[in-house]
Structure 1
Amino acid sequence: MAHTDSGVRAVAVLEASKGLLALLVAIGLHAYAGQNLSLLAIDLVTHLHLNPASHYPSIFIAAIGSISQTSLTLMALGAAAYTLVRFIEAYGLWHNLRWTQWFALVSGAIYLPFELYEMVHHFSLLSVIVLLINLAIVLYMFRVLFPRVS
């Protein structure tokens, strides 16, 4: 059972890492709420030594400028909620709570078709890596939950 505990704890660390990343996104979105996003986008584009009037940078600036403050707040709240779910899952996996093992299996399995679609239609090394990591987690959690079947 020791290998199972260390494996489940590794999944817990991954989930906590995803939660931490989402927390940073939520904080970043909250920090920019109430600011003129178009000006921030122009500053970013010029900082990268790009011409704000050229085609792609202007599309980026227009897209960022069209995000409403309400949408920004909702995105920050969504990222915060995702953070909370990931931290709860990580805590439960770390303490070997059965329901979080089920949650990890089901939530990981739900993403597989979307990740497969992304890999097929927008192939990149990142999409392959994300799919393989999630598939490994789903298969591992299946082995943890059903040791006699696997």
Structure 2
Amino acid sequence: MAAENGVITITDEVPCLVSPARMFRAIFVDNHTLIPQIMPHAVNHVDLHSSDGGVGNVKHVTGVEGASMGDMKLKMDEIDMENLTCKYTVSDCNAYGDMVDFLVSECKFVTNNFHPEGDAKMDEEEIKAGREKAMEIYDFVHAYLANNPDVFANNT
């Protein structure tokens, strides 16, 4: 964990037994259909605010009341289907309470930059707790794809 100008940066490596292309599609491209299906205890629904789900698209996630995930907005800033990379911004997220204004994530599952709300100070335990909530989605998708090898097997 590193901090510069109040922005906290975390780099993570997460092992995966299913193909990167399938995980990328499940988590970043078609999450609006898959996540509510495999995580009904945490996510009620995901509203897609454009037809293609590409750059500039905003997805509004509505969490189950009382679940740790909560509501949030996800805006796709960049997406490269060939290299399986993307950058997105999470805002209006109550997973960190009032301490984070927004989170920008660059994914190859590598870097997360936390932009604190005002003068809020986050310690490593708070960031770890938030990461664990995010990893819950990853773990559910990973398990689902491992047990359903035909889902997203076609990269189109």
Q: TM-score range by the shorter chain?
A: under 0.3
TM-score, L = length of structure 1: 0.27
Bigger relative CO (Cα 8 Å, ≥ 6 apart): 1
How high is the TM-score relative to the length of structure 2?
0.26
Q: In proportion to residue count, which structure has more strand?
A: 2
> Larger Rg: 1 or 2?
1
